[in-house]
Structure 1
Amino acid sequence: MRFSVFLNARSTSPDQDGRLITDLIDHSDRAAAAGFDAIFMPDHHFNGYMPVASDSFILAGYLAAKHPDLHFGFSVVSVPLHHPVRFAERVSILDHLTKGKLLVGVGSGTTPEEMIGFAVNYKDAGAIAEKNLALAEALWAKQMDDPAIEIDNGPHQGRVLQRITPAPYGEKHARLMPVAMKESSARRAAVNGWPAFIPAFTPPQIYGTEPYSHVKKYFDTYKAMLLEAGHPDAVIADALSWSTHSYQCVHLAETDAQAREELEIILQGYQDAVDRENEFNRRAESGEANKKTDVNISALHEGWIGTWCLYGSPETVIEHLRPYAELGIGNILCGTTTGPLTEQRLAYANQTLDLLSRKVMPAFKGR
């Protein structure tokens, strides 16, 4: 089982942005030194989710130069917000910079506020994402003398006469990682021999206290499709080794009681930030085209904690993860910096990295 770090810290004011970027780079350096397999980044805009998330391709390129042995990923790129030409170009460049160690999570986005900033209606996001991905595939495949590719997809327009540069690092473009929540997304990953994100909930309710049942349902479906696709064993093994289950907040301490007490401090800060952001999301949802359908609750609710958090002593965390390892989940994505990255929060994050690397990861690395 692999372990990866998700840089999902928030900033709550402009004067925090620069320090947060520096702290996240330092945190990434710690993760690399501690033996984590990958660094994943979000792709978000306007809402204080993370200052570098507005163009996390830049941060990935910077970190790739510092840590050439790491894999780098996105959880996830909001595809409707990217012109397909820019998406294809950036993926190809980063594929070269990481020497093929790139994992591009793809999804249709999260908040109406982000959508309207790019002239996309929230209700159209799924359809625009699907067409953008098809256009990106066509762009990657296009040769110089092939007919022009016409782009007519909501706010994204254009006509491509030549080819996308650079060419892929390997025989194919970088691996994409769909969220295996819909059959079409799971099949896209399986048919192409790509990994997938395996969710722990079933919309419209995106929380609960039995996440494993959802993970097993989605993973079993994805794995069956992957095996049916007829790939070579090496392709199947690679895809499964990066099949990813995510925890928005991971926090470890020496005892369960200490971990729970500190987790509640972390989640209170996170929820306070979310409440501030929700005011702007409500403004974005003023019309029917941008109404959200997913149902969420407070991060301090046991249902949210049950779905999105991994916490406790190292021994407790090991026991929690054993069923996921036995199921075949290949990668655990750990949100170690969730919430505003105060000095105390950063100390908790570094504490978690230390305990994960010294006491938890050795229990699974040999599996």
Structure 2
Amino acid sequence: MRFSVFLNARSLGPEQDRKLMKDLEGHAKLASNLGFDAIFLPDHHFNGYMPIASDSFIYAAYLAAQMPDMHFGFSVVSVPLHHPVRLTERINLLDQITDGKLLVGVGSGTTPEEMIGFAVDYRNAGPISEGNLAIAEKLWAKRMEDPAVEIDNGPYQGKVLQRITPAPYSKGHARLMPVAMKEASARRAAENGWPAFIPAFTPPKIGGTEPFLHVKKWFDIYKGMLLEAGHDEATVKSALDWTTHTYQAVHIAETDEQAREELEIILRGYQDAVDRENAFNRRAESDEANTKTDRTPNALDEDYIGTWCLYGSPETVIEHLRPYQELGIGNILCGTTTGPLTDQRLAFGNRTIELMASKVMPALANM
């Protein structure tokens, strides 16, 4: 079982942005030194919502230069917010910089305010995402002598006459990682031999206290499609090795009681930040074109904690993760900096990855 760190911290004002970026750099270096397999980054805009996420490709390249053995991933790129030319160029460039150690999670986005900033109608986010991915495949396949690729997809227009540069490092292009929540997304990952994100809920409900049932449901669907696709053994193994289950908040302490008490401190700070952001988001949802169809539970509700959090003593966390490893989940993505990145929050996050590396990871590696 692999373990990866998700740099998902928030800033509450411009005066915090630079310190947050530097603190996350230090946290990522610590994770690298402790033996974590990958660093994942989000893709978000505006509102102080994760400053490094305004251009995760740049930040990933900056970190990759300092950690050449680390894999890098995105959870997830909001595809409707990227012109397909820029998307393919950036993926290829980072694919080269990391020598192919790149995992590009792809999704259609979640926040109307972000869509407004990029002139995307929230109602059309899904179709625009699908269109951009189809165009990206044409751009990756295009040779100099091929006919021009025409781009006409929502707000994105253009015509590519030559080819995308640089060429990808990986065969075809870097691995994409769809969220295996819809048949089309699971099949896209499976047929291409890519890993997938495996969710712990089933829409329209996006929380709950029985996450493993949902993880098994979506994993079995994806794995069945992967095995049916006829890939060689190495491709199947690589895809399953990186098939990822995500926890937005991971917190480990010496005892379960201490971990729960500190988790609630973390989640209160996180929820305060979310409430602040939602006040702005409601302005964006003032018309039919930009109204969300789902709502995330309050972070202090057991529905949220049961779905999105992993916490406890090292021994409790090991026992929680054993069924996931036995199922075949290859990579656990750990949100170790969730919420505003106060000094206390950073200390919690650093202690968590130290305990994971010293106690949790060795126990699961030896199974």
Q: For this structure pair, what is the TM-score category when the shorter chain's length is used for normalisation?
A: over 0.9
Q: How far 1:366 sits from its partner (Å)? A: 3.5
SS at match of 2:333: strand
| Structure 1: distance between partners of 2:325 and 2:213 | 14
Q: Which segments of 5 or more consecutive residues in structure 2 lack a partner in the other structure?
A: none
| Structure 1: distance between partners of 2:261 and 2:197 | 29
Equivalent residue, structure 2, for 1:142: 142
1:309 pairs with 2:326? no
Deviations 1:192-243 (A, max 9, x none): 0000000001111110000001100000000000000000000000000000
| Structure 2: distance between partners of 1:268 and 1:140 | 44
Corresponding letter in the other structure for 2:74: F
Equivalent residue, structure 1, for 2:82: 82
| Structure 2: distance between partners of 1:239 and 1:24 | 28
Corresponding letter in the other structure for 1:137: E
Equivalent residue, structure 1, for 2:28: 28
Q: How far 1:272 sits from its partner (Å)? A: 0.2
Equivalent residue, structure 1, for 2:178: 178
Question: Identity rate of aligned residues, in percent?
Answer: 75
Equivalent residue, structure 2, for 1:358: 358
Equivalent residue, structure 1, for 2:349: 349
**CA contact 2:141–2:172 (8 Å) conserved in 1:** no
Equivalent residue, structure 2, for 1:40: 40
Equivalent residue, structure 1, for 2:206: 206
- Larger deviation, residues 2-11 vs 278-287: 278-287
| Structure 2: distance between partners of 1:30 and 1:256 | 24
Q: Which residues of 2 match residues 262-273 of structure 1 at below 5 A? A: 262-273=262-273
Q: Which residues of 2 match residues 50-69 of structure 1 at below 5 A? A: 50-69=50-69
Corresponding letter in the other structure for 2:4: S
| Structure 2: distance between partners of 1:170 and 1:312 | 39
Corresponding letter in the other structure for 1:320: H
Q: How far 1:170 sits from its partner (Å)? A: 2.7
| Structure 1: distance between partners of 2:2 and 2:202 | 25
| Structure 1: distance between partners of 2:170 and 2:341 | 37
Corresponding letter in the other structure for 1:323: P
**CA contact 2:207–2:296 (8 Å) conserved in 1:** yes
Corresponding letter in the other structure for 1:365: A
Q: Which segments of 5 or more consecutive residues in structure 1 lack a partner in the other structure?
A: none
Corresponding letter in the other structure for 1:147: P
Q: How far 1:47 sits from its partner (Å)? A: 2.6
**CA contact 1:39–1:73 (8 Å) conserved in 2:** yes
**Please, what is the CA RMSD of the aligned residues?**
0.6
SS at match of 2:365: coil
Deviations 1:142-196 (A, max 9, x none): 0001111110111111011000011110322000000000000000000000000
TM-score normalised according to structure 1 size: 0.99
1:224 pairs with 2:224? yes
Equivalent residue, structure 2, for 1:194: 194
Corresponding letter in the other structure for 2:157: Q
Equivalent residue, structure 2, for 1:329: 329
| Structure 2: distance between partners of 1:59 and 1:363 | 32
| Structure 2: distance between partners of 1:223 and 1:366 | 24
Equivalent residue, structure 1, for 2:284: 284
| Structure 2: distance between partners of 1:69 and 1:366 | 22
Q: How far 1:48 sits from its partner (Å)? A: 1.8
SS at match of 2:352: helix
SS at match of 1:364: helix
1:161 pairs with 2:161? yes
Corresponding letter in the other structure for 1:217: K
**CA contact 1:204–1:295 (8 Å) conserved in 2:** no
Deviations 1:254-299 (A, max 9, x none): 0000000000000000000000000111111111111111132210
- Larger deviation, residues 199-208 vs 221-230: 199-208
1:234 pairs with 2:207? no
TM-score normalised according to structure 2 size: 0.99
